[in-house]
Amino acid sequence: MTRFIRSLILALGLAFAGSAFAAQPVNVNTADAATIAASLKGVGQSKAEAIVAYRQQHGAFKSADELVQVKGIGQKTVDNNRALILTDGAAPKAKPEAPKSGG
């Protein structure tokens, strides 16, 4: 194999490995900003730093939904990452559905 092909294969392998790491659950009460940014979709370094700063100022998050209190984190970001957000080491809980009206 040529050096170019080996380099290409290595680069592709690392790219796929990086995307696999991005889907790991993260405890937002214990993780550092870099880990949060790498784990949550739509959360870059500055938003992750805001999460850490909020946590340091206000205490631990009791649920994923409390993340909307952090400037720059909206409900859509929380909903898109709900399965990846841990607050106590337990598996993430699905948000309960609103009761259906009808009769």
Structural domain contains residue 52: yes
Structural domain contains residue 88: yes
Structural domain contains residue 89: yes
How much is the CA Rg of the chain, to the nearest whole Å?
18
What is the count of structural domains for the chain?
1
Backbone torsions φ then ψ of 4, nearest 5 degrees: -60, -45
Residue of 94 and 66 predicted with greater confidence? 66
In which domain, by residue range, is 85 found?
25-93
Structure confidence by residue, pLDDT tens digits, 9-61? 766 666 555 444 546 899 999 999 999 999 999 999 999 999 999 999 999 99
Structural domain contains residue 1: no
Q: Which residues pair with 85 in a beta bridge?
A: 26
Structural domain contains residue 29: yes
* Residue 39 C-alpha from the chain's centroid: 4
Structural domain contains residue 99: no
Structure confidence by residue, pLDDT tens digits, 1-12? 677 777 767 666
Structural domain contains residue 2: no
Structural domain contains residue 70: yes
Model pLDDT, residue 95: 59
CATH code assigned at 73: 1.10.150.310
pTM recorded for the entire structure = 0.67
> Nearest to residue 66, comparing CAs of 88, 33, 46, 44?
88
